[in-house]
Structure 1
Amino acid sequence: MRWPTVLLGFLAVALAQDSSTESSESPTSGTVVSVTTPVAIPSGTYQEFSTTITLSDGDESVIASTTHYNGTMTASNQTAVTTTSDSLTLLVGGGGGGTTVIGNNSMNATATTTGTATNTPVVNTRPCNSYPEFCTRKYSNITMVATHNSPFVRKNSVAANQALDVTTQLNDGVRTLQFQTHYVNGTMYLCHTTCQLLDAGTLEDYLTDVNKWMRKNPYDVVTFIIGNFDYVSPENFTTPIYNSGLKDLIYTPTKVPMALNDWPTLSDMILRQKRAVFFMDYQANQTAYPWLMDQFSQVWETPFSPTDPAFPCTQQRPPGLSEADAKNRMYMANHNLNLQLNLGALSMLIPNTAQLDETNAVNGSGSLGEMAQECNKTWGRPPNFLLVDYYNYGDFNGSVFEVAAQMNNVTYDRNCCGKTSGALREVSVAGMSTVLLVAVGVQMVMSAF
């Protein structure tokens, strides 16, 4: 008997994954088939601070000069000056020394890397990642909204995690993009659990869209968190990343691991034009590819794909991380609520879209704001990344950005983003119908063996 491809795809997942396994994105995210057959997976090891590896600074001899619209940006490892057509800001700094951000209301102002200027007052007005206050802050001292499974946008699909495309996400203020990859016939694809369930195209095409946005927005640093679902070697990622056009924008760290104080300021990254930051959860090799950073040597996570609306702020991945090391590296708060669906042999986690107005809210039980406050209290500093589903829904449009702004001690006053949260419940109902059909099919396949 022959079965539809999608059902065979689910069967393949069922035979390959353990219900207690954490995969590259953690197999407990999205759609998962749980069985009892154990499989060997990467352990999630990480580099401890006691065994720091120093990397050569690949940016040291680079001089980048790019022109965007009416403004010209130049950068070197000695000094760098950015002048903008709005006659408001001078960003000055660069190299291994401290970067100073200064400026006033005259294009005639002068500045040096020591932070002195002939005109006063010294006020920066050029936003870095949407806020002038961020320019002098270290990358590790900023809370960013991160879109969980950013490419997976599909109407009426239970496997979707976002409603708006990546360009819209970036326009709205998202600065961290997380996604799951699958290596199929020599090409890196963006698929959710299996490409038969949701295929969002190639990694190269997706990153090409991001590159186009970054070229039009030269004052923004964008972070990529790659879920290496198939645990393939890191060299398989270099071609799609390079071909996307992002190669010259890639940031290379100075050591492994990077402690909190090791990270540069946003203005330094912007002046150098090294503002595409790449992390990968498993199989990273920073000896061979220093820029493709091992996530768990730099960033730890709270429990992934939770079904617990309490959203505990405990450290989960990597396992065994000491409290001291956890406090000295960045961390990601996973705040994407799921529903557990158990149908015979099929066990699935799907986004709980019906509660998005509570989950993505600023205040209240189970809200993103409540978790961020609790994490801040527990660890003595806010999360660096707030990982959310359907970022454009909440108790009001832009609520997730309001939470980030509160953690950053800045004012969120932008217009955002999409539609009211109620409309998404229709997607949930349609998606649930798909799940039920697939569940029945998988049970039929199982019974045939």
Structure 2
Amino acid sequence: MRAPPWMPVLRGVAYVCAVLCVVVVAATATARGTVLNAGFHRDVLARERAYERLYDEVLVDPELTPVTRDLLGRLPVDEALLTSNLKTVLPPETLRALTDEQIRHLIAYLRGDRDALTLSADLRPVVENLESLTQTYFGDLVASLQERPSPDFPAFLRELDVSLQRVAAGEPPHGLPKLSLTPDQAAMAADALLRLVPEGQRAALRPEVDVALREGDVATALAAVGPAVFSDRTREAVERVRAAADGGSWNITADLERGDGSLDTVHRIRGATHLTLGVVEPLAGVLGAAALAALWFTGPESLPRRLRRLGWTLAAGGVLTALCVAVAGLVTGGRVVTPPASWPDSLVRLVDDVQSTALDRVLGGALTAALVALAAGAVALALGVAAQRRPVLEVARRASVWSAAGVTGVALSGVALVPLVFAGGGARVCQGSERLCDMRYDEVAQLTSHNAMSTTADRFIGPLQDPDIVGQLNAGVRALQIDTYRWERPEEVTARLRESDFPPETRRRITDAVARFNPPRPGLWLCHSVCRAGAVELVPTLRQIGDWLRAHPTEVVTLIVQDAVGGADTEAAFRAAGLEDLLHTPHRDPSRPWPTLGEMTESGRRLVVFAERADGPAPWYRNFYAYAMETPYAFRSPAEMSCLPHRGGGDKRLFLLNHFITIDGGSRLDAARVNARAGIVERARACERARGRPVTFVAVDYVTIGDARSAVDALNAERAERA
């Protein structure tokens, strides 16, 4: 039976339609899974470390210095103070959250899920951080002038406000106490105050400030510098912040609409994407399936010829899609947007790296979709050849029909779905690295702060760390060694001091302090040997750790508790701090492998707590030395450091490397040397060879001195390479 004359025309149209529909489905699916997927953008930014590079490369670029200084010069805070605390004022987490929010709004608008584009940023956290930094700066200044152990911020702000009002009214402020200063102290205080004054005005103000401070008259000294320091700069800074925040929210859309017309481009793109996703993509899928069905069912040809026709059609669609990908790669050259010539090189490099990575992933998704179509076509061709060479029974014929239908369905589904693999949901990160998520807890090295609660920030006598516990976590610490105590009665202090590692002079100072003040306080505390040498409350500190963990959902933190407080009371403290949902319960068998960091972060159970003495009663509160071994810790010089077994024996899964110098207490002078990257890495490797287990905890004093964090990162990078 001869085919009708229109049949070849129909097949030709169906063939062209099917090939083009494969290309369209691949393109639209790639767009949906990448550039129109918020997770894709988060993933690209994370892979290129965009936020870290912004702080470490762009904002410190000398080409940006004039702009940065012009901005900072408008704020009533020293430039050095603000730039050194930039991550405090605008933490990476806050910047990431602000960016993620704008990405979500923009993608929702482009996909047609929202009718209007609304971009806004909540600047209240930034303003609060800036205000906190300013308060700390001026509060510490006044506290140092008043010789107070710590500034009373609310009182300081009230006094400052009254003083500024009096200065603005032309009256000298009053109410600040007179101080008895030595000439040297007066000169130092004058230098501290005059550093706040524009350089050109310092010489004229110095005589009045010197005379006032030599007489201990802080009020007059502040009145002298107040007009130059506070009036104009504070008013201008407040006005700028208020103008930007507009009640706490920055309306980005409004600013863009008043700008260079970039939103007009976004609106045009939105029209195209809405049409493409809503009409073109589903229409291409339906037409493609119909065209392939027409190619299959039209004509009296044998089954082998139908299979070959189907195979050539799918293969042609895959080849054409691959050619389009190749052309797109050549045309773009790895760059979609050309940064302006006025941008600094560091920002250009960052933008180029981000868009290059994004483009590679987009083209990779489209190319993979093309390969799926090509592979499906190859399978259909192979089936056609096999069917032609062997007699085909009815059962085999039916099987081949279903095989052809399956190949067609898989091909179209694969072309549509494969690009979603390249979308990303935000990079899967654990402890700051994608590569650590698949490593077990007992395989990862963790920077550990020895006596983490004993800090300069909390005014401990003989501190062993500088930042407070939250500051240490922000600096990369992931394990905290803390000591829990109850406040001592006076008669208990002398015996405790004899057992402590404080030098004799420090013991004398503590004894004198006990005789004059610091009566016993109720409750549970974090102290170092003697609570009168420094103490912070346990429950509020645990609550801060919990808040930090919730703000950093990809991090795992470990507490190693030197416990002078019973296990039941400790359990109650963790419950009062609201940490029960974060606590990880180790397996009762210490020899069992630990879960991976990825499994721990996905479960939400990311806080591991050990005790040096107790073992329970809470199932999550296990004895550290049942699970871990350690090196000695009483080293008086780097040369004495060894890998010999100490507490915990020598065959545990977890391994604590004590890496600090003890000379009647910690040694700040030795910290820079022993915390050097090369020294830590070399000793960790040696101890791992000697003990047959990877180092888990690298415990150091003064974690912010030296390169301890870099050393831990290097150890983890080596292990990830071997994994």
- In the superposition, the TM-score normalised over structure 1's length comes to 0.57
| Structure 1 residue 158: Cα displacement | 4.6
Q: Kindly provide the amino acid, as one letter, of the partner of residue 595 in structure 2.
A: P
Pair 1:135–1:122, CA change in 2 (3 A): farther
Pair 1:86–1:254, CA change in 2 (3 A): farther
| Structure 1 residue 105: Cα displacement | 6.0
Residues 1:373 and 2:688 aligned together: no
Pair 1:202–1:157, CA change in 2 (3 A): closer
Whether contact under 8 Å (2:657, 2:697) holds in the other structure is yes
Give the number of the structure whose alpha-carbon radius of gyration is greater.
Answer: 2
CA distance in 2, matches of 1:375, 1:302: 9
Query: Please, which of 1, 21, 43 is the counterpart of residue 88 of structure 1?
Result: 43
Whether contact under 8 Å (1:301, 1:333) holds in the other structure is yes
CA distance in 2, matches of 1:371, 1:268: 30
Alignment correspondent of 1:419: none
Whether contact under 8 Å (1:334, 1:386) holds in the other structure is yes
Alignment correspondent of 1:362: 677
Deviates more, 1:233-242 or 1:369-378: 369-378
Q: Kindly provide the amino acid, as one letter, of the partner of residue 183 in structure 1.
A: R
CA distance in 2, matches of 1:158, 1:352: 13
| Structure 1 residue 130: Cα displacement | 0.6
Alignment correspondent of 2:567: 234
| Structure 1 residue 84: Cα displacement | 5.3
Q: Kindly report which structure 2 residues correspond to 1:282-431, keeping only aligned pairs within 5 A, or say none.
A: 282-285=613-616, 288-310=617-639, 311-318=641-648, 321=649, 323=650, 326=651, 328-339=652-663, 349-363=664-678, 367-394=679-706, 399-409=707-717
Q: Kindly provide the amino acid, as one letter, of the partner of residue 532 in structure 2.
A: Q
| Structure 1 residue 126: Cα displacement | 2.4
CA distance in 2, matches of 1:122, 1:383: 36
SS at match of 1:338: coil
CA distance in 1, matches of 2:669, 2:461: 13
Alignment correspondent of 1:202: 537
Pair 1:371–1:303, CA change in 2 (3 A): same
Query: Please, which of 181, 192, 208 is the counterpart of residue 528 of structure 2?
Result: 192
Q: Kindly report which structure 2 residues correspond to 1:253-264, keeping only aligned pairs within 5 A, or say none.
A: 253-257=586-590, 259=591, 261-264=592-595
Pair 1:275–1:85, CA change in 2 (3 A): farther
| Structure 1 residue 359: Cα displacement | 0.8
Whether contact under 8 Å (1:362, 1:403) holds in the other structure is yes
Pair 1:187–1:369, CA change in 2 (3 A): same
Query: Please, which of 543, 552, 558 is the counterpart of residue 217 of structure 1?
Result: 552
| Structure 1 residue 121: Cα displacement | 6.9
Residues 1:277 and 2:608 aligned together: yes
For structure 2, which runs of at least 5 residues remain unmatched after alignment?
1-37, 45-359, 369-416, 488-520
Pair 1:244–1:360, CA change in 2 (3 A): same
CA distance in 1, matches of 2:681, 2:705: 14
SS at match of 2:533: coil
CA distance in 2, matches of 1:143, 1:250: 20
Whether contact under 8 Å (1:178, 1:224) holds in the other structure is yes
| Structure 1 residue 166: Cα displacement | 1.5
Whether contact under 8 Å (1:148, 1:389) holds in the other structure is yes
- In the superposition, the TM-score normalised over structure 2's length comes to 0.36
- After superposition, the C-alpha distances for 1:292-332 in whole angstroms (9 at most, x for unaligned) are 011001011110242242310111003xx3x4xx1x41110
Equivalenced residue count is 280
CA distance in 1, matches of 2:637, 2:654: 23
SS at match of 2:665: strand
CA distance in 1, matches of 2:553, 2:665: 36
- After superposition, the C-alpha distances for 1:117-173 in whole angstroms (9 at most, x for unaligned) are 945579993220111111111111000000011111126755211001122211121
Alignment correspondent of 1:133: 435
CA distance in 2, matches of 1:379, 1:195: 36
Whether contact under 8 Å (1:153, 1:161) holds in the other structure is yes
CA distance in 2, matches of 1:174, 1:386: 10
Q: Kindly provide the amino acid, as one letter, of the partner of residue 222 in structure 1.
A: V
CA distance in 2, matches of 1:86, 1:300: 43
- After superposition, the C-alpha distances for 1:44-89 in whole angstroms (9 at most, x for unaligned) are xxxxxxxxxxxxxxxxxxxxxxxxxxxxxxxxxxxxxxx9584539
Alignment correspondent of 1:42: none
Whether contact under 8 Å (1:233, 1:284) holds in the other structure is no
Whether contact under 8 Å (1:158, 1:350) holds in the other structure is no
Alignment correspondent of 1:159: 462
Whether contact under 8 Å (1:87, 1:105) holds in the other structure is no
Q: Kindly provide the amino acid, as one letter, of the partner of residue 581 in structure 2.
A: D
Overall identity of the aligned pairs, in %: 26
Whether contact under 8 Å (2:454, 2:460) holds in the other structure is no
CA distance in 2, matches of 1:86, 1:186: 51
SS at match of 2:571: helix
Query: Please, which of 440, 446, 449 is the counterpart of residue 144 of structure 1?
Result: 446
| Structure 1 residue 241: Cα displacement | 1.1
SS at match of 2:530: coil
| Structure 1 residue 254: Cα displacement | 2.6
Alignment correspondent of 2:581: 248
CA distance in 1, matches of 2:461, 2:698: 22
CA distance in 1, matches of 2:42, 2:715: 30
Pair 1:369–1:87, CA change in 2 (3 A): closer
Give RMSD over aligned pairs: 3.0
Work out which structure has the larger RCO, using CA pairs closer than 8 Å and 6 or more positions apart in sequence. Answer: 1
Whether contact under 8 Å (1:405, 1:411) holds in the other structure is no
Q: Kindly provide the amino acid, as one letter, of the partner of residue 380 in structure 1.
A: G
Q: Kindly report which structure 2 residues correspond to 1:40-79, keeping only aligned pairs within 5 A, or say none.
A: none
CA distance in 2, matches of 1:167, 1:411: 28
SS at match of 2:484: strand
CA distance in 2, matches of 1:122, 1:307: 54
CA distance in 2, matches of 1:186, 1:290: 27
Pair 1:164–1:87, CA change in 2 (3 A): closer
Residues 1:266 and 2:574 aligned together: no
Whether contact under 8 Å (2:456, 2:468) holds in the other structure is no
Q: Kindly report which structure 2 residues correspond to 1:104-123, keeping only aligned pairs within 5 A, or say none.
A: 118=418
SS at match of 1:262: coil
